Structure 1
């Protein structure tokens, strides 16, 4: 493997990411794999730079990965405008970094390192600007870019209710059945339920970790994350062996928001990282959705707050796809069940309404109370008898049990 010391620096080739071209729109431009020197430099930088550091991201954009890495090794001037304390801390980290060892560790896991410019790079991440990932460590056999093209994020509370877990699993399965990838963070609660629902339906799911792809967190999800590695994809900004921190969880959420077409929040309290994910998605121009819950539940209060503002209410996978999908991906119209009484003509309905709930009356009274001619009333009553709504008692008629509950209303109230 080529070392960075021996690799020639590119003159200007990586020192600029032209404003819009390298930040999302790639029409008419082929993806070109990063040169070996760039790949090594980016791999090294993932161990030195914290995820989401837009100041360092601006250095990377201006200098290119090789020049920035050499600068952090002390082999060149520090980046323009860099503070002494920050540079000193980064250089201290850089002293012990071996990108070759990290790449070898990823390969041993069956993984790889994906850089901007690679065919597999999800170009929607470029919308993060200077805060976009330096690169992504990936485990799994599928193509990340292809899966991300039709993907939805399902996020929510770690300490979710049974309702939240059920909804997340159902949404995950429903999206999988419709050919959509489900992206989440592999955490307890809603995240885990979303992954499990998708896997159960045989669908594609992506776990975005706040640690290295080999560092299982939470440990209680060892089996789940193993299944995702086999059937889906695990991605991380941090190199193998890196551990999660509170700030890394927060920055992980921006990747989930940018990677997908939209974010669904299933359950979230008023202070929840899931809300931050949804709001970041809205800032990036992605769809933001929420699943309502009981107004008495604190775990739904954050979702309800979103629904009062930027989020759209969704209650099924079909409604999610209708929002994020293509023209024609319409959810079926919601309606109640069609009952037998709904199919009666207006005259027959009036006759039923004229009959008392209890007891029998003669046809002439039914005709008078319904405003219907006696001959028509008699004919319709025999028709209603054949349909099982009424029965004849000598010269009188009465409702059969359940006739009013077959789709009508009871007089005196619903």
Structure 2
């Protein structure tokens, strides 16, 4: 069995990022099945006319590759082969050399710098990321908020975005956005002014700044942050690439904040990706007469986004999602039950979480302390049936760690005494 080196894998991924389009689930499936080196070899052979898509499919079937069973794989191989036969895709070292000359790099899964949050995208997760900038992705994306919104932002919207990004940066939280005019640029600039790293996800190659009018901003981002793209160097931004780029923004952040967005704003696409990933979404309120806020208001009205007005509101949403709540819940029981030395007295209450089974703990983790959720939403979040969710919620209510409100169920910040 041939052992592939990291350099061979990196070169193959570099070629595949030029051959395929961002978020191509079929290409990801093939790579997961047979590896990037073999995938690149097959597509190059078909692209050069050395074999056919039919023969490639037969070869995949003979090895038992699961990807061969997909009904669209044959057509996909023919589609990828068109690019795979081009000189640019064949010379996989060219992109790596070009990015190196710019001081950048290709980050792939397995690298220390790889941001594991993006793996939540599953079949739509990127094969690799082209990166420029001083910041390491694994570091700056460890605690993040996405701040996105309208390109044609109002002065109100840009001030909200600037104030939010400034305050988040002051708290050590990385602001991520898309580098566009309006809300995106205001958020990036505020983080830079606070001398904090910020990350811009691009729809085109990282070697060509878009929009070009923001070139100075991008240069400033490089000094302490990072510019990231899934598309190969030299590739141009296109509408579908912007929409697919948005999934990276959503996946890289614990909370996505929509500051200002019209009815058909691309920022709503970012919110949709975040919701699909079960990430928190928040929105700033605007004037009821402002067309720039109709999309943000719709998210709030349909209970898809939390209404926020400052960084404290956003940080509360981040902390509300922290899985450490199980470990911290016992600490909330201290206070009147603890003696002056800080140790629990003999009358200290038992930890209400100790008696919960796994299903009930999962259900508790699906709740929030900021917004009541209906049983259907809770069941979906927890991966339970409606009946199991109801049983678990009843147990959580009896344990004093959750309670029913008028519009749904909420987790309690401070557990109540167990009902006897």
Q: How does the TM-score come out when normalised to structure 1?
A: 0.70
Task: Confirm or deny: 8 A CA contact 2:146 2:256 kept in the other structure.
Answer: yes
Residue 44 (1) aligns with residue 15 (2): yes
Q: Note the C-alpha offset of 1:8.
A: 4.0
Counterpart secondary structure, 1:183:
strand
Q: Structure 1 residue 58 and structure 2 residue 29: aligned? A: yes
Shift of 1:62: 1.1
Partner of 1:320: 314
Per-residue CA shift, 1:56-100, capped at 9, x if unaligned? 111111111111111101277246245544322311211221221
Secondary structure of the residue aligned to 2:200 is: strand
User: Is residue 68 of structure 1 aligned with residue 61 of structure 2?
Assistant: no
> Are 2:115 and 1:115 aligned?
no
Contact 2:95 2:233 in 1 (8 A): yes
1:198, 1:246 → 2: CA distance?
27
Q: Is the 8 A contact 1:9 1:66 kept in 2?
A: no
1:254 partnered with 2:247: yes
Please give the alpha-carbon distance, in whole angstroms, between the structure 1 residues aligned to 2:189 and 2:218: 10
2:84 pairs, out of 77, 94, 97, with 94
**TM-superposed deviation, 1:265:** 0.2
Question: Where in structure 2 are the equivalents of 1:299-318 lying within 5 Å?
Answer: 299-308=292-301, 309-318=303-312
Q: Does the CA contact (< 8 Å) of 2:251 and 2:274 recur in 1?
A: yes
- Residue 144 of structure 1: which of 137, 146, 151 is its match? 137
For the pair 1:214 / 2:238, whether they are aligned, the reply is no
Give the match for residue 283 of structure 1: 276
Distance, in Å, in 1 between the alignment partners of 2:92 and 2:220 is 27
Q: Retained in 2: the 8 A contact 1:125–1:255?
A: yes
Question: Superposition pairs for residues 151-170 of structure 1, below 5 Å?
Answer: 151-170=144-163
Once the two structures are superposed, residues 356-383 of structure 1 have per-residue CA deviations (whole angstroms, 9 ceiling, x without a partner) of: xxxxxxxxxxxxxxxxxxxxxxxxxxxx
Higher helix share: 2
Structure ID, larger Rg: 1
Q: Please list every run of 5 or more consecutive structure 1 residues that lacks an aligned counterpart in the other structure.
A: 1-6, 11-33, 329-414
Corresponding position of 1:200:
193
- Tell me which residue corresponds to 2:181: 188
Partner SS, residue 141 of structure 2: helix
Q: 1:124 aligns with which of 97, 117, 120?
A: 117
Q: CA deviation at 1:310?
A: 1.5
- 1:308-364 CA distance string (max 9 Å, x none): 221111111121112113689xxxxxxxxxxxxxxxxxxxxxxxxxxxxxxxxxxxx
Aligned to 2:382: none
Find the aligned partners of 2:24 and 2:96 in 1 and give their Cα distance.
22
TM-score, normalised relative to structure 2? 0.69
Aligned to 1:243: 236
Task: Give the unaligned 5+ runs of structure 2.
Answer: 61-67, 326-420
What does the per-residue CA deviation read over 1:212-268, in whole Å, with 9 as the maximum and x for residues that have no partner?
111111111011111111221000001111111000000000000001111000000
Q: Post-superposition shift, 1:113?
A: 0.5
Task: Spell out the pairing of 1:339-354 with structure 2 (5 A cutoff).
Answer: none
Query: How much has 1:204 moved relative to structure 2?
Result: 1.4
State the secondary structure of the residue aligned to 1:243: coil
- Measured in 2, the distance between the counterparts of 1:83 and 1:208 equals 29
CA offset at residue 195 of structure 1?
Answer: 0.3
Residue 256 of structure 2 contacts residue 281 of structure 2 at CA under 8 Å; is this kept in 1? yes
Q: Secondary structure at the match of 1:208?
A: strand
| CA distance in 1 between partners of 2:7 and 2:150 (Å) | 41
Distance 1:233 1:113 in 2: 13
Measure, in 2, the Cα distance between the counterparts of 1:57 and 1:310. 29
Distance 1:313 1:227 in 2: 31
Aligned residue pair count:
300
Q: Is the 8 A contact 1:156 1:268 kept in 2?
A: yes
What SS class does the counterpart of residue 201 from structure 2 fall into?
strand
Q: Equivalent of 1:274, from 267, 270, 282?
A: 267
